[in-house]
Amino acid sequence: MRIVAGIWRGRTLKSPTWEGLRPTSDRLRETLFNILGPSIDGARVLDGYAGTGAIGIEALSRGAAQVTFVENDARAVKLIEANLAALGAGGPAKPVIIRAGLAEAVSRLGRDAFDLIVVDPPYGAAAAREALDAVHAAAGAATRVVVEHASRYPPPPECGGLKLTRTVTAGDSALSFYEH
């Protein structure tokens, strides 16, 4: 697993050594960030179900101003910390890692609106809806929400005031984009 573009382009990220964590592929991350384009520069990003932290780290590499990682698994939190440390990520906009379930983390964050929220829940029939239910309170009027999900499970057309605007499929995975 490597960083696709930006200041850390080509750098390798540590991968999980245990079963049950499915990192977003380099190809799918590249597709996501090609669609987002320059809107990532200076953005406040929430990486939900962060896993290895690859999405948030890619955002930082491409110029995001702030990234908040949310992950419930202690092993994955350590993996995110190790990946950030290996890159020397820090400084004034030090990344924030919250160890909690997504809904709990969003309630702790209050009404902080993010420019971009990317969630990659474990694949399941209701996963996209559950993730959208958890994050819609942190989505301001201009927030873009992206849900990674299994392509065999169609995402809801609308949830919590967020409307589906686009879905891109790559093999078994899909990215669905939502806006107010």
d(CA 137, CA 23): 25
Model pTM score: 0.92
DSSP letter at 85? H
Mean pLDDT, all residues of the chain: 89
Task: Using the structure block, give the residue that is written with the tokens 């908040």.
Answer: 68
Report how far apart, in Å, the C-alpha atoms of 93 and of each of 14, 43, 60, 64 are. Answer: 22, 11, 10, 9
Report how far apart, in Å, the C-alpha atoms of 180 and of each of 3, 132, 142, 164 are. Answer: 30, 12, 7, 9
d(CA 5, CA 164): 27
d(CA 170, CA 150): 10
Helices then strands (H, E): number in the chain? 5, 8
Write out pLDDT tens, residues 128-174.
999 999 998 888 889 999 999 999 999 999 998 999 999 999 888 99
In the chain, the domains with their CATH numbers are 39-146 (3.40.50.150)
